[in-house]
Each structure stands twice: as C-alpha cells, then as structure tokens.
Amino acid sequence: MRKVEVCPSNENWPSMFEAEAKKLQSIFGQEMIAIHHIGSTSVPGLQAKPVIDMMPVVKNIDDVDAFNQEMNKLGYECKGENGISGRKYFQKGGDDRTHHVHIFQHGSDEINRHLAFRDYLRSHPEDRERYGTLKERLAQQFPDDMISYMEGKDGLVKEIEAKALKIWDEQKGR
C-alpha cells in the first residue's frame, strides 16, 4: 500500500530532476522539445511527497508509445493518460515512487497550468506556506489514504491555480 509521506523541502530535488531529465532526453531525443521540473519538489521551501514530477513536452503525443519499452528499462510503468486527456503518464518505483513523468504535446493547456502553478508558488510565500501546512496536516490525518489526501488538497489547489493562471495569462498578454 502506498503511504502518504510529506517531508521538508530537500535541496537535492533539483539535481535529482536534472539527472533523470538527462536519461529521458537520451530516450526521447529530438521528439522532446523541453522538460520541466513541476510539482512540489520544484518549489524551494515547499513541503512535498519525495517524488520528482517531470513534464517533458513533445512534438507529437501519439509518438510517445514508441518509447514505452525504453521507459520500462529505466524502471517506469506506463499508465496511459491516467485521467488527463492528452497526457502520457509514467511512474517509477511502485508504491515507493521516486518519479512521475507527465508528457504533453507542445501547445497543450496542461503545460501552462502546471508551470503557472509552480511559478506562482515560487513567488508567493504566503500561499506556499498555506499549501505546505495543509499538505503536512493531511498527510498526518490520512497516512494510509492517498485519495483522501488528494481530495483534501483539491480546494486550495484550485484556488491557487486560479490565481496562478490569471497572473500567467496577464504576463502572456492573453
């Protein structure tokens, strides 16, 4: 069973992302346009589940399945869209996950949503603190119940995401 673990920010998370990003770049090559560190481990000072979330951006999402065997060799399990249309999702580490890979095609609105959320938390310490405190409380309240943990975060995530996307759109002139 997967435990809900939230720990203090770790200064090694960015280098862990970089090391794995190089491996993914070697697999996807020219198909990958960019790769971003997303999720809580990408926000300095934010408490997080110790799982590195990565977001490769590819030219054509339909071509990603051709790389499944190589991803398996790296220890990744392909989970298909896993609830988000237009995404290819991989996880590494089973119940003791170390990495999540969320692949989107260039131009997907999901890319902006993830980057806006990350960038907002990086630059808004009061909401970063609110989010981190909530995550710690929920992890203590639901140590064996990932669904309740995720549902408990949902309201605040949507609130922060709305603020983040508003700023993102203003900065991009939308």
- The 10s digit of each residue's pLDDT in 29-63 is 999 999 999 999 999 999 999 999 999 999 999 99
Please name which of 9, 22, 18 lies closest in space to residue 122, comparing C-alpha atoms.
9
Tell me, rounded to whole angstroms, the distance of Cα 130 from its chain centroid: 19
Return the domain boundaries, the chain. 13-171
- 65: nearest Cα among 44, 89, 100: 89
Q: Where are the alpha helices (DSSP H) in 4-124?
A: 13-28, 68-73, 109-123
Whether pLDDT at 173 is above 80: no
pTM, to two decimals: 0.94
pLDDT in tens, 129-154: 999 999 999 999 999 999 999 999 99
- What is the fold of 13-171? Beta Polymerase; domain 2 (3.30.460)
